[in-house]
Each structure stands twice: as structure tokens, then as C-alpha cells.
Amino acid sequence: MNTDNTTHNPGAGWQILGELELPVGASAENALYAWLTEILHPLNLQAELLNKIIASAQDAVARAIQAEVTLKFEHIHLTVFVPSAREEKEKAWGFFRLEKIEDTKEDQTDGDHAVEFYLYGDGN
């Protein structure tokens, strides 16, 4: 498991809160829980939302690992984004998840699966 601080550009208005690279086949459940609770702690999320984000990440990774049998992924990249301009103490948060699968050629074995989480304040 590596934390990766490379720069992605998801578009104007978003900044990276954290990145994680998991090798396929790694036992990811505990690593995901620890990583997500650490990077999301400064946002003061309600426990229910935090648990939904963690469950969503664990689900995405589990499905990616199952798909590895046919798609030959080497890594799963997780990135969490938050708005660049945000209130210091957002009252309520929401999130959505995007998954991206790198197109692999028949003989390639180095494809990657990316999971991106976008957290946003709802303005309450």
C-alpha cells in the first residue's frame, strides 16, 4: 500500500484531500478504514456519512479485485477530492464516487482501476 501525492486535475474547483494506491490482492478493508478515517477527520463528518463513504470504498475495491481475474489490474488507485473553496465548518456534506478502468491491451498486465470520491458541502 502506497500513499501517492501525484497531481491530478479533476477540473477547476477541486483539490486532493488524499490518495492511496492498493496492490490488487491486498487485504484492503482495514487499510481503507484507517486511511479514510484519518484523511476525513478534519472535515468533522457525521458518523453515518463517514460509514457510507467507507462502505462505498470497500465495495468499489472488492468489485475491482473480483474483476481482476478477467481484467488484469495491478493497482487500485483511490483519490478523495474536496472543493477548493469551501466553508471552514461545512454543516452538511454529500459525496459521489466515480470509477475509471484503464483500457488494457490483450497482452498487457499493468492496467489500473481508479476510484475517485468527491465530497461537497450542501450549503446549509
Interacting residues of 71 by C-beta distance below 8 A, sequence separation 6+: 101, 104, 111, 113
Length of the chain (residues): 124
Residue with cell 484507517: 34
pLDDT value, residue 75: 79
Interacting residues of 36 by C-beta distance below 8 A, sequence separation 6+: 50, 53, 54, 57, 80
The answer to whether the Cα torsion of 31, 37, 42, 48 is positive or negative is positive
Phi, psi of 50 (to 5 degrees): -60, -45
Distance from the first to the final alpha carbon of the chain = 37
* pLDDT of residue 124 exceeding 80: no
Average pLDDT, the chain: 78
Confidence of residue 89 (pLDDT cuts 50, 70, 90): low
| For range 102-106, the mean pLDDT | 60
pLDDT value, residue 108: 53
Residue-wise pLDDT tens digits, 65-83: 776 554 566 778 999 999 9
User: Whole-prediction pTM value?
Assistant: 0.77
- Higher per-residue confidence, 9 vs 80: 80
Cell triple for residue 104? 488494457
